[in-house]
Amino acid sequence: MSSRPAVPIDAIREFWSQIRAGLVIEEAAGIAGVSLTQARRVFRKAGGVNPFSAAVLKGRYLSSLEREEIHDLRARGHGVRQIARALGRSPGTISRELARGSSKRCGYRPSVAQRKANTARRGPRSAKLAVNQRLREEVQDRLKRHESPEQIAGRLRIDFPDDEEMRVSHETIYQSLYVQSRGGLTRELTAHLRTGRSMRKTRRKEGERRGRIQGMIMLSERPAEAADRAVPGHWEGDLILGSVASGSAIGTLVERASGVVLLLHLPENHTALAVQEAMAKKITELPEQLKRSLTWDQGVEMTNHARITAETGLDIYFCDPHSPWQRGSNENMNGLLRQYFPKGPDLSIYGEGILDNVAAELNSRPRKRHGWQTPAEVLDQLLSKPHENTGVA
């Protein structure tokens, strides 16, 4: 019988990074490239608490999460080299880790290995509730009286104003409750919390989207003429982002029937107002027959969609969450644009003139789907062709 494949440590780290960003398990699993079953197992094992710090780890020492993974892989019969490949570590590191953390009676135990590593490392920080019995008993008693961790942390400062050893943060209490390797409190005490949950969860409910845009009209209501690409004037849009520090972006608009692209200049930020102003400036230059509809993702940059419609005449429709294929023409174009605008740099270095030149070059590039005609040529033909349902001549 084949064993379950190990989840790479980098994928686990990315999963928790997305959870920290506010995504639910299903969304974070998709981005990290792990199955939903694997993601739920990782989440459950950690008690719903992110085991990674926000800072990037140096990578010299094995983490507690890696030790848990070594235990699981060893239990499934994996050898030293297989475990090393799964974790991206050297076989020597894994071999020494197994030797230090194993006993003849119990085999390899992650908690024992972690404790030995902390003892051996210079200046280890022990879990406060694990080493301070008086503080631990006080916290336990207060939890049993159904006080919340935040209430306990605040009240301890009042009840023991001159005793620094009787101070603990509410987050430390939660960590001790939900991550058993941190030591101190048993998970059974979670029954006294207001939620009564034995596993920590994100605040957002599954299926709920934060900051949902008001007044959205979904893609399912878009006219059928947009789907068959027979009538020009139906667009798909999105942003390609520059470095986080710069806040810069480039808006991309692709006409569905012809593949003609327009680029929006967003050098300073891509807020809803900035996108609205850039969109209005670019769309108002178009002939009326090219102002039919726009399909966009549910990004907050489109919060002002009603104003954009009022200023441009474009009816705006929104894709379903995490469904980039619903604006496939735009996704393909964004891939082409990365040839001109690589990921990472500050996109504000590209002026509006450069963006127009790049768009003109792409619109003059022959396309296989058009029998090697260019998007510009196809659009000219579509605009000169009469359409019975629209009255366009």
pLDDT value, residue 53: 55
Q: Is the pTM of this model over 0.85?
A: no
pLDDT value, residue 73: 87
CA distance 292 to 170: 54
pLDDT value, residue 213: 83
pLDDT value, residue 4: 56
CA distance 227 to 128: 61
Q: Which domains, ranges and CATH numbers included, belong to the chain?
A: 9-120 (no CATH), 128-192 (no CATH), 219-384 (3.30.420.10)
pLDDT in tens, 297-329: 988 899 999 999 999 999 999 998 777 788 889
pLDDT value, residue 40: 85
Q: Which residues of the chain have pLDDT under 50?
A: 1-2, 54-58, 123-124, 205-211, 388-393
Q: Which two tokens stand for residue 377?
A: 């040529």
How many angstroms separate the Cα of 223 from the Cα of each of 180, 229, 387?
55, 11, 15
pLDDT value, residue 128: 79
pLDDT value, residue 181: 52
Q: Which two tokens stand for residue 41?
A: 């197992």
Which of 283, 326, 287, 322 shows the shortest CA–CA distance to 305? 283
DSSP string, 28-79: HHHHHT--HHHHHHHHHHTTT---S-SSPP--SSPPHHHHHHHHHHHHTT--
pLDDT value, residue 389: 45
pLDDT value, residue 295: 94
Give the max Cα distance, the chain: 86
